[in-house]
């Protein structure tokens, strides 16, 4: 099995993506997780560019990395400056890493316009900087910036820049599609050209401006490249970098290459989601291999086939990359989908029951409900239909007041009356909005009967307008996510009144917490303190 070396630049190139900001602590945590995944190189940043990266490299010296080699990133010396006097080059040596990634100009347009120097001086800058770093005992990875564009405009000079880096002693020559505009067949052709003319170990660094970064990377590997640069989840400037979460499983599961230590590809989904969580970035559900929807099946025909043989609609096993199969229940689902979902929830339903439930789901979704994003509400629906769960409380009435006075904050108050067993509880509570006030009032009423309610809290609240043409009279769908120390769950409510829709989702969230605790029938509750008056 041929070896491909993974070079991760999430901590440097990835952080240039819009909306990505990492503290030094974040970077240290991510570096440890990348080492756990098993990448070969972790590019930590540019030590000569900002204090944060300087601190990262100082603290990273104590990281107990088991596999990865920490790498510092920087540029060739400045035009007209002796290499040993250039502060950025000196910072690369002082970073304390065993590996340095150095980028230089390949495109003659950038040499004359951006650097404002001669083509000959640029070659000297490349050669002398690489040699200086090699003389300090460092492994040098040379990134040929804009190589593919540079070659198209001046192929001879682009090759000269690679030769200059090779003459300086570079260990790797990495061909960069910096503007992300190349096509796979162009990448294949130029990698073959470079291998024939310059030789030596080659790498690829692709950007995703043409939605081809992964395809271009795989084409480069097929043509002989053995170092792959990219970022976790495809983070990066503009449209992002080549996504290692897609590259790695394609290399290992489809191309027969070894990119990670044996068995580590199953860690991919875990690492992908961990890194997004650290950066407070929402995981794209439809991200290949590692997204929550990557192995989600919704159409009835699809689900029926997958239940018989997963290969009918899955190109790889979800478990191979640490993900899992999901069956979504919606108006597109059949009885098979519902039975699969019921089995996941340890609910045993017969064929006739599943058909009736499918019709009920279709009726509710026609009204605007959506259960694929509210599986707690779906489970409650199924258990109630089978008589396995009865609500732990019943609404008698509620009233919500919202008051706004000039120059003051808006105040919300909810007054609530619920029946719990034979007791009627009347409570009131304030909140920073009507839904929060209702939540607070309901908690006051229920916690004395069901202490488990104290362990849960709402973590997300989303409102979707279903009929935009109806303006303020439109029907809305509310999704609420709740969490306790063990897990999270989502519930749904629909109404033309946003408060009523929120109430539906809210009481489902409370009911599901009781279901999780083991309450499956309408037992008479016993209060843990004196009832509110």
CB 323 within 8 A of CB 330: no
- DSSP E strand boundaries for 95-234: 99-105, 139-145, 172-177, 202-206, 227-230
SS3 call for 435:
helix
Q: Residue 306 has what pLDDT?
A: 79
CATH code, 474: 3.30.160.270
SS3 call for 150:
helix
Distances (CA, A) of 158 to 2, 46, 105, 163, 378: 29, 25, 9, 9, 60
CA–CA distance, 528 with 531 (Å, rounded to integer) = 9
Q: Of 500, 291, 294, whose CA–CA distance to 399 is shortest? A: 500
Q: pTM of the predicted model, to two decimals? A: 0.73
In a domain, 525, yes or no: no
CA–CA distance, 477 with 492 (Å, rounded to integer) = 7
**211 and 152 within one domain:** yes
Q: Of 6, 11, 58, 45, whose CA–CA distance to 279 is shortest? A: 11
**483 and 410 within one domain:** yes
**223 and 200 within one domain:** yes
In a domain, 290, yes or no: no
Show pLDDT as tens, one digit a residue, over the chain (533 residues).
899 999 999 999 999 999 999 999 999 999 999 999 999 999 999 997 889 999 999 999 999 999 999 999 999 999 999 999 999 999 999 999 999 999 999 999 999 999 999 999 999 999 999 999 999 999 999 999 999 999 999 999 999 999 999 999 999 999 999 999 999 999 999 999 999 999 889 999 999 999 999 999 999 999 999 999 999 999 999 999 999 999 999 999 999 999 999 999 999 999 999 999 899 888 898 999 999 889 987 766 776 787 788 899 999 999 999 998 877 665 555 556 666 767 777 777 766 677 777 777 778 877 888 787 788 998 888 888 777 888 889 999 999 999 988 888 888 999 999 999 999 999 999 998 999 999 999 999 999 999 999 999 998 898 988 876 666 678 899 999 999 998 899 999 999 999 999 999 999 999 999 988 875 444 545 444 433 33
CA 234 to chain CA centroid, Å, is 9
Among 329, 354, 385, the domain-final residue is 385
Q: Residue 533 has what pLDDT?
A: 31
Q: Residue 427 has what pLDDT?
A: 96
Dihedral of alpha carbons 58, 60, 62, 66, sign: negative
Residue with the two structure tokens 């040379």: 142
**326 and 206 within one domain:** no
Q: Residue 361 has what pLDDT?
A: 75
**365 and 427 within one domain:** no
Among 278, 305, 328, the domain-final residue is 278
CATH code, 157: 3.20.20.70
In a domain, 524, yes or no: no
CA–CA distance, 456 with 450 (Å, rounded to integer) = 11
CA 263 to chain CA centroid, Å, is 22
In a domain, 532, yes or no: no
The phi and psi torsions of 239 (rounded to 5 degrees) equal -95, 5
**463 and 338 within one domain:** no
Dihedral of alpha carbons 323, 328, 332, 338, sign: positive
Q: Of 412, 463, 465, whose CA–CA distance to 439 is shortest? A: 412
Q: Greatest CA separation found in the chain? A: 91
CA–CA distance, 333 with 337 (Å, rounded to integer) = 6
**443 and 363 within one domain:** no
Joined tokens for residue 433: 């909005």
- DSSP E strand boundaries for 151-190: 172-177
In a domain, 29, yes or no: yes
Q: Residue 472 has what pLDDT?
A: 67
CA–CA distance, 57 with 25 (Å, rounded to integer) = 12
CA–CA distance, 356 with 368 (Å, rounded to integer) = 19
Q: Residue 170 has what pLDDT?
A: 98
The interaxial angle of helices 184-197 and 155-168, nearest 10 deg, is 50
SS3 call for 411:
strand
**313 and 263 within one domain:** no
CB 443 within 8 A of CB 453: yes
Among 245, 278, 311, the domain-final residue is 278
Q: Round the CA-based radius of gyration of the chain to a whole number and report it.
A: 29
What is the DSSP code (8-state) at residue 3? Answer: B
pLDDT digits (tens, 9 = 90+) for 294-329: 998 776 677 678 778 889 999 999 999 999 887 766
What is the DSSP code (8-state) at residue 437? Answer: H
Domain hosting residue 471, numbered range: 394-516
**108 and 9 within one domain:** yes
In a domain, 527, yes or no: no
**260 and 159 within one domain:** yes
Q: What is the end-to-end Cα distance of the chain in Å, rounded?
A: 74
The domain tally of the chain equals 3
CB 72 within 8 A of CB 90: no
Joined tokens for residue 47: 């030590």
Kind of pairing between the strands at 457-465 and 423-431? unpaired
> Order of strands across the sheet with 394-403?
394-403, 411-420, 423-431
Neighbours of 435 (CB within 10 A): 24
CB 500 within 8 A of CB 493: yes
Q: Residue 389 has what pLDDT?
A: 80
SS3 call for 267:
helix
In a domain, 99, yes or no: yes
CB 38 within 8 A of CB 260: yes
**143 and 92 within one domain:** yes
In a domain, 146, yes or no: yes
**56 and 179 within one domain:** yes
Burial of 213 (0-12, 13-18, 19+ CB in 10 A): buried
Q: Residue 529 has what pLDDT?
A: 43
């Amino acid at each position: 099995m041929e070896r491909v070396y993974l070079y991760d630049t999430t901590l440097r190139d990835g952080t240039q993506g819009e909306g990505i900001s990492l503290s030094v602590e974040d970077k240290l945590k991510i570096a440890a997780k990348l080492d756990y995944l098993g990448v070969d190189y972790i590019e930590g940043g540019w030590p000569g560019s900002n204090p944060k990266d300087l601190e990262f490299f100082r603290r990273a010296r104590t990281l107990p990395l088991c596999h990865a080699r920490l790498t510092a990133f920087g540029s060739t010396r400045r035009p007209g400056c002796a290499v040993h006097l250039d502060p950025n080059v000196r910072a690369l040596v002082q970073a304390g890493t065993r590996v340095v990634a150095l980028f230089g100009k390949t495109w003659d347009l950038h040499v004359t316009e951006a650097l404002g120097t001669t083509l000959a001086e640029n070659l000297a800058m490349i050669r002398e900087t690489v040699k200086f770093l090699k003389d300090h005992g460092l492994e040098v990875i040379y990134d040929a910036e804009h190589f593919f564009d540079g070659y198209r405009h001046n192929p001879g000079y682009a090759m000269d820049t690679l030769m200059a880096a090779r003459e300086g002693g570079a260990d790797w020559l990495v061909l960069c599609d910096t503007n992300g505009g190349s096509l796979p067949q162009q990448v294949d052709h130029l990698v073959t050209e470079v291998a024939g003319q310059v030789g030596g170990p080659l790498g690829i660094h692709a950007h995703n401006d043409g939605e081809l970064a992964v395809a271009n990377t795989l084409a480069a590997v097929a043509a002989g490249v053995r170092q792959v640069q990219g970022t976790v989840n495809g983070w990066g400037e503009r449209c992002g970098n080549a996504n290692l979460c897609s590259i790695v499983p394609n290399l290992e599961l489809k191309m027969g290459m070894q990119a990670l230590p044996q068995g580590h590809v199953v860690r991919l989904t875990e690492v992908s989601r961990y890194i997004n969580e650290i950066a407070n970035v929402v995981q794209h559900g439809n991200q290949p291999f590692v997204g929550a929807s990557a192995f989600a099946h919704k159409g009835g025909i699809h689900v029926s086939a997958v239940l018989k043989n997963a290969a009918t609609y899955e190109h790889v096993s979800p478990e191979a990359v640490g993900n899992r199969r999901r069956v979504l229940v919606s108006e597109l689902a059949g009885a098979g989908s519902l039975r699969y979902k019921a089995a996941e929830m340890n609910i045993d339903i017969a064929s006739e029951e599943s058909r009736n439930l499918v019709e009920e789901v279709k009726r509710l979704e026609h009204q605007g409900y959506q259960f694929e994003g509210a599986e707690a509400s779906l489970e409650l629906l199924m258990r109630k239909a089978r008589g396995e769960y009865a609500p732990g409380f019943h609404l008698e009435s509620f009233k919500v007041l919202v008051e706004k006075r000039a120059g003051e904050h808006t105040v919300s108050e909810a007054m609530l009356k619920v029946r719990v067993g034979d007791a009627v509880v009347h409570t009131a509570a304030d909140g920073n909005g009507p839904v929060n006030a209702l939540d607070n009032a309901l908690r006051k009423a229920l916690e004395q009967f069901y202490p488990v309610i104290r362990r849960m809290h709402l973590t997300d609240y989303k409102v979707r307008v279903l009929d935009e043409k109806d303006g303020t009279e439109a029907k809305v769908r509310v999704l609420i996510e709740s969490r306790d120390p063990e897990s999270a769950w989502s519930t749904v409510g629909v109404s033309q009144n946003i408060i009523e829709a929120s109430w539906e989702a809210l009481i489902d969230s409370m009911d599901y917490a009781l279901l999780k605790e083991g309450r499956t029938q309408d037992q008479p509750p016993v209060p843990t303190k004196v009832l509110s008056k």
